[in-house]
Amino acid sequence: MRYPTIPPREVTAQGVQVFRGYNRNLKIKAGEFRDMENLTSDAYPVLSPRGKRGIYRKPASPQGLIAKEALCCVDGADFLLGDRRIAMGLSVEPERCPKDLISMGAYVIILPDKMYINTAYPEDFGSIEASNTVSGAELTLCDGDGAPLSWVTQAPEEPENGALWMDGGSLKQYSASMSAWIPVTDTTVKLSAPGIGTGFLPGDTAELSGCAESGLNGYVWIVDAGEAFVLVKGMLSRNFTQEQALTLKREMPDMDFVTQAENRLWGCRYGTDSQGKPVNELYASKLGDFRNWNCFQGLSTDSYRASCGSDGPFTGAATHLGYPLFFREGCLHKIYGSEPASFRIQTTACRGVQAGCHRSLAVVGDTLMYKSPTGVCAYDGALPVEISQALGRERYGNAAAGAIGDKYYISMEDEAGVYHLFVYDRGKKLWHREDNLSCAAFCAWGGELFAIDRSSRNILGLLGSGEPEGPVSWMAQTGELGMDPARRQYISRLNLRLALERGSELECLIEYDDSGQWESLCRVFGTELRSFRIPLRVRRCDHMRLRFQGTGGAKLYSLTKILEKGSDL
């Protein structure tokens, strides 16, 4: 008797051995994950959790980080230079916090306080601005070296060589060789009064106001200064003592964002200046001198300022490949040139920095990365390119970022007010999500990336420096499995290949057909460092999702789906 032959089931296998990171979009590739927590690209193409972080320091009120010879931090009103605390009297008012710290040589500029500190000689700190108002100041006309001059008010009939004559308001000197009176142009004025020179240095440009000799009012160049005197370039028609108040002032413009490039500080301002006048300007300090912003003597070392024609608030500033860049949401301004006479502003319409995300600007290798209104962009000097398609359609803001090696760390707030820390590996072009860490600032120093945690106010070593945290909990959730095959196939079995460190654990969960219920398939505990091959039996369904979650060190090498052909039903 013959029996019918039952053909064997058609069985195929699909394996994933390359895990590609985070992808929040509706349709994702094999090896990508719709959701994840605390995973990293360090072991790519293997899936693995990040390393432990560390608590590096516990300041009371951290307001900014910067890397110098040591890791520096603003803590309330003080400046921390490594383990050394310097009482600088910084503002702790909420509207003046957090701080922006800019490095220029050995100096750190602290904004918006407009203060500085020399990290090589920490005793040298103070205000960038200076303003002294005095009464009873003595004004004396001097030569270029500061020696007082004597002159006559009427021209002598037989003058001696070198004699001085005040002809109205013009000082002249007699030249015997030329038999003529020659105008004297190299004169200075000495202003003497207790405290008038405090805070001023030779080479400063300051604004003088209230002087009875009106021709001396305005911006003056300081040749020399001491506590009780200043010597400025200028001219007097007479020596006198002024009883009414006289003010000498050096100001730094109010600026929205500041960066350092080519031994100058550069800044931008949209709105009103300190006098209440509307401005839309770019600024540069005097060459090598962050104190002086109003020095305009026609020299290559002069300060610089220029008005902008484009409209809208500035949203960020950075230096890239030696050029200062200023961003609005819809454009960027790039400044070329080596001196004020040759400075040129190039404006490019492009995706700029999103408002409130100026701290997201960070250079990874030779690429500037930042958060734009539509996503994270990479700028190599040509046009910005968006690189965050994997983050999906979720809108983020209030971003802060840092970079170390080939990685870009960015902490952003979603529309629900929840923060997320994402990491982009530029070399591998992969995104990974770590957790809900809310970072106020980042700083790379000594092979470590440090961040200020908003919630705990601790300074964290994201790569492990400091007091280590406990075992890291992690999770990876796939997209829908079983949606791709055109033929009626179903997943009959899953095979995992993984390695667990001693003391770690892994649980595999499954959700069938969007049920909303996660069922545990298996739980594995690491007793020694070895790899496992785990077969997982699953129910027949239309599609499924997998979630791997665990604590401690683990490596997932492969995930294989065993597919069997089913009926049309």
Residue 404 pLDDT > 90: yes
Report how far apart, in Å, the C-alpha atoms of 361 and of each of 224, 409, 423, 431, 443 are.
41, 11, 14, 17, 12
pLDDT tens digit sequence for 497-516:
888 888 899 888 888 887 78
pLDDT tens digit sequence for 151-205:
888 888 888 888 888 887 788 888 888 888 888 888 999 999 999 999 999 999 9
What is d(CA 242, CA 176) in angstroms, rounded to the nearest whole number? Answer: 36
Contact by Cβ (8 Å): 403, 362: yes
Q: For residue 356, give the amino acid letter.
A: G
* Higher pLDDT among residues 539 and 283, named by residue: 283
Contact by Cβ (8 Å): 391, 422: yes
pLDDT tens digit sequence for 31-64:
899 999 999 999 999 999 999 999 999 999 999 9
φ/ψ (deg, to 5) at 216: -90, -15
Question: Is residue 490 very low, low, confident or very high in pLDDT (cuts 50, 70, 90)?
Answer: low
Strands (E), 277-364: 278-284, 304-307, 316-320, 323-328, 331-336, 344-349, 362-364
pLDDT the model gives residue 15: 67
Q: Which of 9-23, 82-96, 444-458 has the lowest mean pLDDT?
A: 9-23
pLDDT tens digit sequence for 248-268:
999 999 999 999 999 999 999
State the pTM of this model. Answer: 0.91
What is d(CA 489, CA 191) in angstroms, rounded to the nearest whole number? Answer: 94
Residue 3 pLDDT > 90: no
Radius of gyration of the chain (CA): 34
DSSP state of 232: E
Nearest CA to 428 among 40, 75, 38?
A: 40
Contact by Cβ (8 Å): 181, 174: yes
Beta bridge partners of 565: 489
Residue 252, C-beta contacts closer than 8 angstroms, at least 6 positions apart: 114, 128, 129, 291, 293
Residue 8 pLDDT > 60: no
* Higher pLDDT among residues 410 and 523, named by residue: 410
Residue 285 pLDDT > 80: yes
What is d(CA 430, CA 239) in angstroms, rounded to the nearest whole number? Answer: 74
pLDDT tens digit sequence for 510-552:
888 877 888 888 888 886 655 566 666 667 777 778 899 999 9
pLDDT, the chain, mean:
90
What is d(CA 322, CA 262) in angstroms, rounded to the nearest whole number? Answer: 7
Report how far apart, in Å, the C-alpha atoms of 394 and of each of 261, 340, 347, 373, 458 are.
35, 44, 30, 12, 28
Q: Would you list the DSSP string of 361-388?
A: -EEETTEEEEE-SSSEEEESSS--EE--
Residue 1 pLDDT > 60: no
3-state SS, residue 216: helix
pLDDT the model gives residue 300: 94
Contact by Cβ (8 Å): 171, 183: yes
Mean pLDDT in residue range 437-447: 96
pLDDT the model gives residue 174: 87
pLDDT the model gives residue 503: 87
Residue 221 pLDDT > 90: yes
Residue 432 pLDDT > 90: yes
Cα 412 to the chain's mean position, in Å?
14
pLDDT tens digit sequence for 118-142:
999 999 999 999 999 999 999 999 9
pLDDT tens digit sequence for 344-394:
999 999 999 999 999 999 999 999 999 999 999 999 998 999 999 999 999
pLDDT the model gives residue 213: 85
pLDDT the model gives residue 488: 60
